[in-house]
Amino acid sequence: QPAIRLEGVGKTYPDGTVAVQALDLEVRRGELVCLVGPSGCGKSTTLKMVNRLIEPTSGRILLDGRDVTRTDPVRLRREIGYVIQQVGLFPHQSVLANVMTVPLLLGEPKRVARERAAELLETVGLEVATYGERYPHQLSGGQRQRVGVARALAANPPLLLMDEPFGAVDPVVRVRLQDEFLRLQRELGKTVVMVTHDIDEAVRLGDRVAVFAEGGRLAQYDVPAAVLGEP
């Protein structure tokens, strides 16, 4: 049973914009799938439908075989981590507190939450000694982005949806962060769907790559080598 299954999913916004059309897509458990394609071809819309931030206008979406429209929203929030480029950190909380929030909400003891947060911050390349007590406005855009990734991982959800998660990160750090993320994703066996406009990133990270085309149609869904046209 796939972790995610989209069956004939379409989305037309109320103003008539057709964002996604007749989309069939399956993501296996533990797989990292990249959605790639030009701006405006429906990648973000697809991601938002999977975590039910918006509703499809046709078709249906199954998570572990369950229709998302019949899944308790609280349960969805717990099972799906969502990282967007303009990551919303809590402005009045330190970096460490931002990452600790979800584990604390899930009932982890404070000491455990702190250790885990510290570990994840180190993983995304932010030493706790230096950055832990800073506030979001004291970080660069790329550093905030990395805190957002750490916070999403801290919740330890089985499924992560990421929209241009490394977009604001400078190119040198980005490669390190991608590698580190990939290692963690493998180790923890996370299912990940990641939106990117960067085909290099998509083929480097993705187990499979979904290539979107104008009009929100899926042009290709295959392993990186096939997407690159290699024999």
**Residues contributing to the site for ligand ADP (CB under 6 A):** 13, 15, 17, 19, 39-45, 137-143, 170
Rounded least distance, CB 206 to ligand ADP, Å: 16
Rounded least distance, CB 110 to ligand ADP, Å: 26
Q: Provide the pairing of β-strand 32-36 with 18-27.
A: unpaired
Residue 103 in contact with residue 121, Cβ under 8 Å? no
Nearer Cβ to ligand ADP, position 15 or 230? 15
Rounded least distance, CB 169 to ligand ADP, Å: 8
Q: How many residues does the chain have?
A: 231
Nearer Cβ to ligand ADP, position 4 or 155? 4
- DSSP, collapsed to helix, strand or coil, labels residue 225 as helix
Nearer Cβ to ligand ADP, position 5 or 174? 174
Rounded least distance, CB 107 to ligand ADP, Å: 32
**DSSP 8-state secondary structure symbol assigned to residue 137:** G
Q: Provide the pairing of β-strand 18-27 with 4-12.
A: antiparallel
CA–CA gap between residue 14 and residue 153 (Å, rounded)? 34
Rounded least distance, CB 1 to ligand ADP, Å: 27
- Rounded alpha-carbon distances, angstroms, from residue 15 to 19, 56, 199, 213: 11, 14, 30, 21
Rounded least distance, CB 156 to ligand ADP, Å: 26
Nearer Cβ to ligand ADP, position 139 or 184? 139
- CA 98 to chain CA centroid, Å, is 18
CA–CA gap between residue 218 and residue 25 (Å, rounded)? 9
CA–CA gap between residue 217 and residue 82 (Å, rounded)? 23
- The answer for 24, left when phi > 0, alpha when psi is -120 to 50, beta otherwise, is beta
Nearer Cβ to ligand ADP, position 86 or 138? 138
Nearer Cβ to ligand ADP, position 13 or 90? 13
